[in-house]
Amino acid sequence: MVALLPAGCGSAPEATTHPKATVPEGQVDPSSAGNISGRILFAGDKPSMPSIDMSSNPSCERQHRTPVKAETVVVNANGTLRNAFVRIKDGLAPAHWTPPEESVQLTQSGCIYEPHVVGIMVGQTLEILNDDPVNHNVHAESQINPAWNISEAPRDEHKFRKFPREEILFPMTCSVHPWMRSYIGVSSHPFFAVTGEDGSFTLRGVPPGTYTIEVVHEKLGRKEGKVTLPVSGVASIDFTYGSQ
Ligand SMILES: [Cu+2]
């Protein structure tokens, strides 16, 4: 009965579901942009991570020759912190940034998520793969974005999801294997990075300005600092987490 709307009324659903943008498209002038880089350091004793007990699922355990260590806090050989999500928190002019066409992959392999921390833009596609001979269940435990939960058959076809809101960070878990855990950072702009084996980051093609840079780590929490990027210049900022 509710479908009996007069012709011409509500005939433009696009206009109502996508309110007119009040901010311009985000774009960078390459002639004035620069890079912000730095390192995420870890002071103090390197924590040792426990081995993951996969004995409850031999199909998972069989895929590893040696036990897999938890990735809750990973300190690199050079004393830096891996898996830290770094981004511009404040200072960008209001803009709507278009996400890249390429998807970001999250793979389930050996009953571990790879990568452990995923950086993705609002509206960009997350491509979820199951390389394992077992069932998984991917659970996005987001608070700002709608949470969802999808089951994945062994070597299932790829699944695709997008996140409509900025949210940094939230866990991705598996309802079948309680040790499986990754973290997703959804950014409204392209100026973010996740630290790897050398604990460094570079935010490229940033417009000149003064910015608040934020680091978010799943266990060690958040830190922020200010940096000023000159026209066509470079700026650097380090952050230090510690055991005390
Ligand atoms: Cu699983």
| Residue-by-residue DSSP string for 34-98 | EEEEEEEEEESPPPPPPBP--TT-HHHHTT-SSPPBP-SS-B-TTSBBSS-EEEEEE-SPS-BPP
Q: What is the pTM of this model?
A: 0.89
In this structure, of 149-158, 170-179, 205-214, 222-231, the range with the lowest mean pLDDT score is 149-158
Q: If you measure from the C-alpha of residue 178 to the centroid of ligand 1, how many angstroms do you get, rounded to a whole number?
A: 8
Q: If you measure from the C-alpha of residue 166 to the centroid of ligand 1, how many angstroms do you get, rounded to a whole number?
A: 26
Q: If you measure from the C-alpha of residue 135 to the centroid of ligand 1, how many angstroms do you get, rounded to a whole number?
A: 6
**Could you tell me which of 207, 12, 228 has the C-alpha nearest to residue 97?**
207
How far is 114 from 20, CA to CA, in rounded Å?
38
Query: What count of other Cβ atoms lies within 10 Å of the Cβ of residue 183?
Result: 25
Contact 23, 63 (CB under 8 A): no
Q: Which residue has the higher pLDDT, 137 or 1?
A: 137
Average pLDDT on 120-133 reads 96
Tell me the pLDDT band of 243, cut-offs 50, 70 and 90.
Answer: low
Q: If you measure from the C-alpha of residue 137 to the centroid of ligand 1, how many angstroms do you get, rounded to a whole number?
A: 6
Q: If you measure from the C-alpha of residue 180 to the centroid of ligand 1, how many angstroms do you get, rounded to a whole number?
A: 6
Rg of the chain on CA atoms, in Å: 21
**Could you tell me which of 142, 149, 140 has the C-alpha nearest to residue 172?**
140
User: How is residue 223 written in tokens?
Assistant: 């830190």
Whether 38 shows a pLDDT value over 50: the answer reads: yes
Residue 105's SS3 state is: strand
Given this model, what pLDDT does residue 16 score?
Answer: 45
Given this model, what pLDDT does residue 15 score?
Answer: 44
Q: How far is CA 24 from CA 9, 28, 61, 159, 173, in A?
A: 30, 12, 51, 32, 36
16 φ, ψ to 5°?
-90, -30
Helix or strand holding residue 183 (H, E): strand 181-187
How far is 214 from 226, CA to CA, in rounded Å?
9
Q: If you measure from the C-alpha of residue 102 to the centroid of ligand 1, how many angstroms do you get, rounded to a whole number?
A: 25
| Signed CA dihedral, 227, 228, 231, 236: sign only | negative
Helix or strand holding residue 128 (H, E): strand 125-130
What residue ranges define each of the domains in the chain, with the CATH number in brackets?
31-87+200-244 (2.60.40), 96-188 (2.60.40.420)
Tell me the pLDDT band of 23, cut-offs 50, 70 and 90.
Answer: confident
Given this model, what pLDDT does residue 155 score?
Answer: 87
Which tens digit of pLDDT belongs to each residue from 128-144? 999 999 999 999 999 99
